[in-house]
Amino acid sequence: MAYDVSAIIQGYAQGYFLMADEANVLGWYTSRDRTLIPLDERFCYPKSLRRVLNSGKFTVAVNRDFSGVVSGCANREPTWISPELQDIYWQLYRFGWAYSFETWHGDELAGGILGIMIGGAFIGESMFYRISDGSKVALVKLVERLRDRGFVFFDAQMMNPHLERFGAYRVTQREYQVLLTQALQRQCSLM
């Protein structure tokens, strides 16, 4: 099925995001506050993860296995990534809007982060791992990449205890809109 990619990107550019409910009905959502992953010195991670990073156990890649990352992110109960939303992500990927930031252990996909990139905004949709620490390493390496490439923010949408350990913080909808306006004026790249 073909989707109106420009309308979908316009929705994200206005601060909305797509999710499926328990009945797999897809809808646009927003919230009073948004969770951001810091791209500055507020970003932190445990010392034990530093050892994993320094070990060279994982390598990173962008879009090496986009469909594998989408499948990994959707493979949980409950999931907000319905089959229809998986198709939409695939179309966004084909048109250069959706990305997978991946960790690899040799030839095995270890984990990854699925996101949509608009200007200087990286909107994280989901993350997963198959090998312990795979998604955590992906998060650290993605933050480094976004920082190095001049991104304005990394939107994680909703807070959870895992993200809080990395320094994630909430901003109001009004603050988010200001940052989004700034991000839309930039041209950044993950590659």
- Spell out, as residue ranges, where the chain has pLDDT lower than 50: none
Q: Residue 162 has what pLDDT?
A: 86
- As a whole number of angstroms, the distance between CA 118 and CA 127 comes to 18
**pTM, to two decimals:** 0.94
Q: Residue 68 has what pLDDT?
A: 98
Q: Residue 3 has what pLDDT?
A: 87
DSSP code per residue over 53-105: HHHT--EEEESSSHHHHHHHHH-SSS-S--HHHHHHHHHHHHTT-EEEEEEEE
Cβ atoms 29, 19 nearer than 8 A? yes
Structural domains for the chain: 5-184 (3.40.630.70)
- As a whole number of angstroms, the distance between CA 111 and CA 141 comes to 12
**Nearest one of 73, 89, 43, 78 to 134, comparing CA atoms:** 73
pLDDT tens sequence across 27-78: 999 989 999 999 999 999 988 899 999 999 999 999 999 999 999 999 988 8
